[in-house]
Amino acid sequence: MPNLLTQDEYRSLASTLQCPTEAHINGALAPAASGKTFETINPATGKVLARIASCDQADLDRAVEGARAAFADGRWSQLHPTERKEIMIRFCERIAEHQHELAVLESLDSGKPVFDIETIDLPESIHCIQWHAETADKIYDQVAPSGNDAVGLVVREPIGVVGCVLPWNFPILMVAWKLGPALAAGNSVIVKPAEETSMTAIRLAELALDAGVPPGVFSVVTGLGETVGKAIGLHPGIDMVSFTGSTEVGRLFLKYSADSNLKKIVLECGGKNPCIVMDDAEDLDAVAEHATNAVFWNMGENCSSNSRLIVHEKVKAQLIERIIACVAKTWPTGRPLDPSNRLGAIVSKAQYERILHYIEIGKKEGASIVCGGNALEIDGGYYIEPTIFDKVTPEMTIAREEIFGPVLAVMSIASVDEAVTLANDTNYGLAASVFTSNVKTAHRMARAIQAGTVTVNCYGEGDMSTPFGGFKESGFGGRDNSIHAHDQYTELKTIWIDLSN
């Protein structure tokens, strides 16, 4: 457990921090070439936190030119894998040295509870980069079974220049998920953070440079999705894009690829994930804790949030009662820099209003609120109570559309088959959880549910050794995490050597 500061200490640190506001291109901070900026808002207060460089095509062109030059001259791509590993580990050490600073910046920018950033996001980010750094000199190429007259080598080579377009819900962690395998493979990387949460990505680029990552290898180009994001998708000098965000925007990147250089596209998109609780589930108190964490962690702003609770009619009332008690006991909502709070502010006014709109739709369509449902007035910020709807039916909007907020929709079932059918009745397929004491039921349901990750008797996403990504409209083209993440950042090459003459 990291050494948490007190609320007063976090607030004091926040008052003295210099907000990073400029892009970090080719090893140096720089304003946008146009001089334009955009506001980033502190969701905890609704007030302007800083003005960030609003980059455009000219800035991206400069970043791509530097990234391609770095890749071509081998300052990173041709380093011995062990050297890359050692620099990446030094980068992790720099992150750890600045952990409190990064946690406060992230909390101010995103509204996330500083407790979560210090205990989950930052430790996991460091672990992710370390894990992939260690693979750099441990992934072997292959020799094909080509007989005695030839040698067939199957080798991996870095793909080149990688564009990473990131979401606002886990700003630091999503940088790490992309950067770890991309750098370990030898690529140059250009990160476009979400406009709501740009500051920690800029600071990470400074720390990477300080650790020895060469200029041009890791740049951060800040700006709006319709300018920088689109430009990354269409740029002929970018060889691959890894995108995490909405399914709607993910579709655009497939079009951008088709309209440009057919760059490789990897998408990790939305989810409307089910948590299935059967009547033989053991220890409903423990189930309630997992189900509550699954939907309210990070204010529900989580693509793998289990926002649909599909529960057997025999235990539904008991489970709802326990979940409500768990919310009251262990999920206080309040100022993000108070480490005693588990729920902070919604990331933006637009997302805040979107969530409240869905709550109103749920009421109008006949679902029944049994917990929460209200906005909270705290310091002028964007806060919403943890909200639970009962009597939700499969056709209701709140059962079908991704809300991306602290809203749980409870539906009842009477059999395993009904539970699986309802779980799969969605365009998404990112994650799911199953709670049952019957091992056969657990295996059969886990196989039958159409999702990239299925957890049994727990909520989670696996760990760094397991791939994360989705089925259907939740994902396309690859996986984050695990050794499989390296596949999308490399090209396979066959080298055939004739020995017959």
Cβ–Cβ < 8 Å for 374, 391: no
pLDDT value at residue 318: 98
Helix, strand, coil shares of the chain, percent, nearest 5, are 40, 20, 35
Cβ–Cβ < 8 Å for 412, 394: no
**Helix, strand, or coil here: 401?**
coil
- Neighbouring residues of 209: CB distance < 8 A, sequence distance ≥ 6: 24, 27, 215, 218
**Helix, strand, or coil here: 486?**
helix
**Helix, strand, or coil here: 263?**
coil
Cβ–Cβ < 8 Å for 198, 166: no
Give me Rg for the CA atoms of the chain: 23
Counts for the chain of helices (H) and strands (E), in that order: 16, 24
- Continuous segment of H or E residues that includes residue 70: helix 57-73
DSSP, res 17: -
How is residue 164 written in tokens? 């990473």
What residues are annotated to the active site? 268, 303
Amino acid at 483: I
Question: Residue 233's CB: how many other CB atoms inside 10 A?
Answer: 25
How is residue 156 written in tokens? 């991996």
For residue 40, the cross-strand partners are 50
State the Cα–Cα distance between residues 493 and 178, nearest whole angstrom. 23
Domain positions in the chain: 7-269+475-493, 274-469
The single residue listed with the structure tokens 């019957």 is 438
What is the residue-level pLDDT of the chain in tens, covering all 501 positions?
568 999 999 999 999 999 999 999 999 999 999 999 999 999 999 999 999 999 999 999 999 999 999 999 999 999 999 999 999 999 999 999 999 999 999 999 999 999 999 999 999 999 999 999 999 999 999 999 999 999 999 999 999 999 999 999 999 999 999 999 999 999 999 999 999 999 999 999 999 999 999 999 999 999 999 999 999 999 999 999 999 999 999 999 999 999 999 999 999 999 999 999 999 999 999 999 999 999 999 999 999 999 999 999 999 999 999 999 999 999 999 999 999 999 999 999 999 999 999 999 999 999 999 999 999 999 999 999 999 999 999 999 999 999 999 999 999 999 999 999 999 999 999 999 999 999 999 999 999 999 999 999 999 999 999 999 999 999 999 999 999 999 999 999 999 999 997
Cα–Cα nearest to 116, from 322, 323, 331: 331
pLDDT value at residue 3: 85
Angle between helices 122-135 and 81-97 (to 10 degrees): 170
pTM of the predicted structure, to 2 decimals: 0.97
- CATH match of 274-469 with 3.30.1490.20: no
Cα–Cα nearest to 476, from 194, 270, 179, 286: 270
What are φ and ψ of residue 80, in 5° steps? -60, 140
Cα torsion 278, 280, 283, 289 to 10°: value is: -10
State the Cα–Cα distance between residues 114 and 198, nearest whole angstrom. 17
- Neighbouring residues of 91: CB distance < 8 A, sequence distance ≥ 6: 129, 207, 208, 211, 212, 213
Average pLDDT of the chain? 97
pLDDT value at residue 1: 52
* DSSP symbols for 215-253: TTSEEE----IIIIIHHHHH-TT--EEEEES-HHHHHHH
Cβ–Cβ < 8 Å for 391, 438: no
Provide the edge-to-edge strand list for the sheet that holds 475-476. Answer: 28-30, 23-25, 218-220, 188-192, 161-165, 240-244, 264-268, 475-476
The single residue listed with the structure tokens 């365009």 is 427
- CATH match of 7-269+475-493 with 3.40.462.10: no
How is residue 475 written in tokens? 């994902």
For residue 158, the cross-strand partners are 490
